[in-house]
Structure 1
Amino acid sequence: MVQEYLDFFRANDHFARHCGFELLEVKPGFATAKMVIRPFHFNGANTVHGGALFALADFVFAVAVNSRGQLALAINTSMAFINAALAGTLVATAREVSCNRRLGVYQVDIHDEQGQLIAQF
């Protein structure tokens, strides 16, 4: 059932596909995804747009939080932008910090190819 749910999630997240997000690994309470930086990801300052970073973090969070096959949604999020992303591939990793019957807490870290922390969600 969990695999069917994840397949449904992948097939129906049209925005993630449009942005070029690719799942790398999924297990209960955990997910990683990558985004190859393309010209449409850049803002006017010629760095990856904060919205693109937020969308990548939100996507990998959504996969991790739904990785047990039960629909779950965010009620509050925030993002800290640590370093500018300029080129290459970004990898976002979502990890469950705590989870009970009604509420879960997750942290998402986005790193560049050199392992530099770009943002936390």
Structure 2
Amino acid sequence: MNENTAGVEYFEKDAFARELGVELLEVGPGRARVRLPTPSGRKNGLGTVHGAVIFALADIAFATACNSHGQTAIGVQANIAYLAPAGDGPIEARATELSRGRKLATYEVRVLDAEERLLASFQGTAYLR
């Protein structure tokens, strides 16, 4: 597995991403972009997209990006800040590698709506095996 195919291969094996209906838009070494086209059926009690759905989308982007180098990477820490409510349209998560050492890598994920409004900011750390 090389850096050109590792992220795609990882995403294709992600059964949870498939179950949610997440689409892979772009992947490359240390980065990934995924979209959930119809989050409207996954609302919380306030009528907005559930935070767990937003977290899951960010986590899928994170996992895809950190496994894009062809080396197994396992998330060991993640946190998220919810900044704005998501409506009925598609939401997208964009993961970018901030640092990568011998054993740890850190990523930033931005979750946006169709108007490019920042909905959430996620940061995760992966252990590299």
Question: Aligned residues, how many?
Answer: 121
CA apart distance, 1:43:
1.2
Greater alpha carbon shift after TM alignment, 5-14 vs 54-63: 5-14
Matched to 1:118, the amino acid is: L
Query: What is the 5 A alignment of 1:65-80?
Result: 65-80=66-81
Query: What is the 5 A alignment of 1:23-34?
Result: 23-34=24-35
Contact 2:8 2:27 in 1 (8 A): no
Partner of 1:90: 91
Secondary structure of the residue aligned to 1:106 is strand
Q: TM-score normalized by structure 1?
A: 0.93
CA apart distance, 1:74:
1.0
CA apart distance, 1:40:
2.8
Structure 2 Cα separation of the partners of residues 14 and 65 of structure 1: 17
Q: CA RMSD in A?
A: 1.3
Unaligned runs of 5+ in 1: none
Greater alpha carbon shift after TM alignment, 55-64 vs 37-46: 37-46
Partner of 1:100: 101
CA apart distance, 1:4:
5.2
Structure 2 Cα separation of the partners of residues 115 and 99 of structure 1: 27
Q: Which has the higher strand share?
A: 2
Identity percentage over the alignment?
40
Give deviations 1:10-37, integer Å, cap 9, x for gaps: 3321111111111101010010000113
Matched to 2:37, the amino acid is: V
Q: Which has the higher helix share?
A: 1
Secondary structure of the residue aligned to 1:74 is strand
Matched to 1:105, the amino acid is: T
Give deviations 1:72-107, integer Å, cap 9, x for gaps: 011110000000001111111000111111111100
Greater alpha carbon shift after TM alignment, 96-105 vs 4-13: 4-13
Secondary structure of the residue aligned to 1:77 is strand
Contact 2:30 2:68 in 1 (8 A): yes
Partner of 2:117: 116
Distance 1:27 1:7, change over 3 A: closer
